[in-house]
């Protein structure tokens, strides 16, 4: 009986301590670790959220760029950080792919990072050089089947968005596009027709598409995109084909749930602001929002989905 009373008292005390910590949080600067260089989309999204949280909570949210190893360096730094809410991670689509792409990681993104909230989502666009005779996805598939091994798709490296998207397309369309990874920009070769197709976020190619220098074949979200309303979804031709790159906020495992909930509330409020929505639209995306459980499901679902693609295509890190 005494043990039960002690256990209840301890639980009540811990709850009170956690509530007080959340009430006082943050009392000093918070570091938001981003696994990409400044100026790239994950960095831009993180900075928008960080600035808004400064205004809401009165403490700086410092964006700390730690690029390298496909964002694994940044992720491991957060996994090893104190569980006090003062070190957060910009979780991205790459984390879901990396879970299988890198078999020897010292962490598990689902187990070791607590989801806080999803922030940003953007479909990719299947984009081709105008010299390609195919004008629609069915025509492209027919052309690829008639010319096996002669169509090259460009990516920014093994395991990147264009690579896993291209391999998913190969599998679902029954074709064999040849992967050409680039260390730098592949855009000059795509524009010149040296490579014929890629799958990239809308913001990357929208200007070229509007200028007629590239052709948008399909968007890979679940619905048509307002910015390219005339462009069909890939799902209209290959049912079930959907790719969205995404981003969100995570914290080290063990972070008090009261702090996670406070961050979730404040970030959801930020995402509802017109200024954030407009800026996300400029980046070719929309706000996600929702609960920590919602974001956790998104991460786990994509770990499973892209794990299947990585294994089937035998994609290896560079």
Instruction: Give per-residue pLDDT as tens, 109-130.
Output: 999 999 999 999 999 999 999 9
Q: Are 16 and 8 in contact (CB under 8 A)?
A: no
Contacts of 20 (CB under 8 A, 6+ apart): none
Average pLDDT of the chain to the nearest whole number: 93
Please tell me what DSSP assigns to residue 177: P
Please tell me what DSSP assigns to residue 143: H
Name the token pair of 222: 């679940």
Domain with CATH 3.40.190.10 in the chain: 123-236
* CATH number at 123-236: 3.40.190.10
Confidence at residue 103, expressed as pLDDT on a 0 to 100 scale:
92
Domain with CATH 3.40.190.150 in the chain: 2-121+245-313
**How confident is the model over 245-267, as a mean pLDDT?**
98
Q: Are 22 and 258 in contact (CB under 8 A)?
A: yes
Contacts of 26 (CB under 8 A, 6+ apart): 57, 59, 85, 86
Calculated CA dihedral for residues 173, 215, 278, 233, nearest 10 degrees: -30
Confidence at residue 202, expressed as pLDDT on a 0 to 100 scale:
84
Domain 2-121+245-313, classified CATH 3.40.1160.10, yes or no: no
Tens digits of residue pLDDT in 19-68: 556 789 999 999 999 999 999 999 999 999 999 999 999 999 999 999 99
Name the token pair of 188: 């000059």
Q: Are 310 and 263 in contact (CB under 8 A)?
A: no
Confidence at residue 7, expressed as pLDDT on a 0 to 100 scale:
44
Confidence at residue 318, expressed as pLDDT on a 0 to 100 scale:
79
Dist CA 37 CA 34 (whole Å): 8
Confidence at residue 205, expressed as pLDDT on a 0 to 100 scale:
87
Confidence at residue 113, expressed as pLDDT on a 0 to 100 scale:
98
Calculated CA dihedral for residues 210, 195, 135, 160, nearest 10 degrees: -70
Name the token pair of 268: 């959801």
Confidence at residue 23, expressed as pLDDT on a 0 to 100 scale:
80
Q: Are 97 and 246 in contact (CB under 8 A)?
A: no
């Amino acid at each position: 009986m005494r043990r039960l009373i002690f256990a209840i008292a301890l639980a009540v005390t811990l709850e009170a301590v956690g509530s007080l910590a959340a009430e006082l949080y943050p009392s000093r600067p918070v570091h938001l670790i981003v696994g990409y260089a400044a100026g790239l989309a994950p960095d831009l999204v993180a900075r928008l959220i960080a600035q808004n949280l400064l205004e809401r909570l009165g403490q700086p949210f410092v964006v700390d760029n730690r690029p390298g190893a496909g964002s694994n360096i940044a992720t491991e730094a957060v996994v090893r950080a104190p569980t006090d809410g003062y070190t957060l991670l910009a979780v991205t689509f790459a984390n879901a792919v990396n879970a299988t792409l890198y078999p020897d990681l010292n962490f598990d993104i689902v187990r070791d990072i607590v989801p806080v909230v999803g922030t940003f989502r953007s479909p990719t666009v299947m984009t081709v050089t105008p010299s390609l005779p195919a004008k629609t996805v069915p025509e492209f598939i027919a052309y690829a089947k008639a010319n096996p091994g002669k169509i090259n798709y460009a990516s920014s490296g093994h395991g990147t968005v264009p690579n896993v998207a291209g391999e998913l397309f190969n599998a679902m369309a029954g074709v064999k596009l040849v992967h050409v990874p680039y260390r730098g920009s592949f855009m000059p070769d795509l524009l010149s027709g040296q490579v014929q197709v890629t799958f990239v976020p809308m913001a990357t190619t929208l200007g070229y598409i509007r200028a007629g220098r590239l052709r948008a074949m399909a968007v890979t979200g679940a619905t048509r995109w307002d910015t390219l309303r005339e462009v069909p979804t890939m799902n209209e031709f290959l049912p079930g084909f959907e790719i969205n790159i995404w981003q969100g906020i995570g914290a080290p495992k063990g972070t008090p749930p009261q702090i996670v909930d406070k961050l979730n509330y404040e970030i959801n409020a930020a995402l509802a602001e017109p200024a954030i929505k407009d800026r996300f639209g400029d980046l070719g995306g929309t706000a996600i929002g929702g609960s920590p459980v919602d974001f956790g499901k998104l991460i786990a679902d994509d770990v499973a989905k892209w794990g299947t693609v990585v294994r089937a295509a035998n994609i290896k890190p560079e």
